[in-house]
């Protein structure tokens, strides 16, 4: 049984249909890439999973439980963490306060301290800057903070929306390393990423969304050699 099973999901924004009956699965421990042009429905898919966007119809099952219709905080409680496009860190709070916001469901002080140390192991720069306001961080450091905040909840499924957007090539490589490291610890990831080449190198499986519909799917390595994918998303 898949960890996550999306069945014939439709989503509207007003009269506009953003998702047109898509179905996809995420296996335990896998990285799944969602590819597609701007407006294809990738971010909407993540918002539907995390409870930020209500379905028009269809079903979303997670760990054998139907989760569509649950409020977002209940989906977080079940182990799904969402890193939105644009990072959305709380710029007036310190780095440490942002991280603690990600662990708002954690009641045990020792568990919270352990989670913080784990994040600081991943991102030593955040430990160095934990007392600084988040607005003082670079774009790449804010992406690390957004990722660390999501990991503070110790997720069983991580949704990442455009983690490399606007970053320098060196920082893109760092984000790529972090994604691999997180996944190596057994956390499955749904990766929405305009850098399709990077996404396919990281992913085990991939789906292509075009104007709200799934047009292709398959093993990521095979997709990377598909002529249509190469010409459309990898620059030939």
pLDDT in tens, 165-175: 888 888 889 88
Phi, psi for 142 (deg, rounded to 5): -65, -35
pLDDT of 19: 98
* pTM, full prediction: 0.91
For residues 53 and 110, the model is more confident at 53
Contact of 62 with 157, CB cutoff 8 Å: yes
pLDDT of 47: 97
Burial class of residue 87 in the structure, from the number of CB atoms within 10 Å of its CB (0-12 exposed, 13-18 middle, 19+ buried) = buried
pLDDT of 107: 72
Query: In Å, how far from its chain's centre is CA 161?
Result: 5
Instruction: Identify which of 31, 56, 32 has the alpha carbon closest to the alpha carbon of residue 184.
Output: 31
* Least confident residue range of 11-20, 81-90, 157-166: 81-90
pLDDT of 236: 61
Q: Is the pLDDT of residue 87 over 80?
A: no
Query: Among the residues of 8-132, which ranges form H helices?
Result: 42-49, 72-77, 95-101, 109-122, 124-128
Task: Determine the 3-state secondary structure of 24 from DSSP.
Answer: strand
Q: Is the pLDDT of residue 112 over 90?
A: no
pLDDT of 85: 86
Burial class of residue 201 in the structure, from the number of CB atoms within 10 Å of its CB (0-12 exposed, 13-18 middle, 19+ buried) = middle
pLDDT of 62: 97
The range of the structural domain enclosing residue 108 comes to 4-233
Q: Is the pLDDT of residue 86 over 90?
A: no
Domain count, the chain: 1
Residue 200 Rama label (left phi>0; alpha psi -120 to 50; beta): alpha
Calpha distance 195→34 (Å, rounded): 11
Instruction: Identify which of 101, 16, 5 has the alpha carbon closest to the alpha carbon of residue 56.
Output: 16
């Amino acid at each position: 049984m898949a960890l996550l099973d999306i069945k014939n999901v439709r989503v509207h924004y007003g009269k506009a249909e953003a998702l047109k009956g898509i179905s996809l699965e995420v296996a335990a421990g896998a990285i799944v890439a969602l590819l597609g042009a701007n407006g294809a429905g990738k971010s909407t898919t993540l918002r539907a999973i995390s409870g930020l966007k209500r379905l028009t119809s269809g079903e979303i099952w997670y760990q054998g439980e139907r989760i569509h219709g649950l409020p977002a905080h209940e989906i977080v409680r079940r182990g799904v963490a969402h890193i939105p496009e644009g990072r959305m860190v709380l710029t007036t709070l310190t780095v440490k306060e942002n991280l603690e916001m990600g662990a708002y469901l954690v009641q045990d002080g020792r568990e919270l301290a352990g989670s913080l140390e784990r994040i600081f192991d991943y991102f030593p720069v955040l430990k160095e800057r934990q007392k600084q306001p988040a607005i003082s961080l670079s774009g790449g450091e804010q992406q690390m903070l957004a990722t660390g905040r999501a990991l503070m909840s110790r997720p069983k499924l991580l949704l990442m929306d455009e983690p490399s957007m606007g970053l320098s090539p060196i920082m893109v490589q760092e984000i790529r390393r972090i994604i691999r490291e997180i996944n190596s610890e057994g956390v499955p990831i749904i990766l929405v990423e305009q850098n399709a080449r990077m996404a396919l190198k990281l992913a085990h499986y991939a789906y292509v969304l075009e104007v709200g519909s799934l047009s292709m799917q398959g093993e990521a390595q095979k997709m990377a050699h598909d002529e249509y994918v190469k010409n459309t998303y990898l620059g030939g």
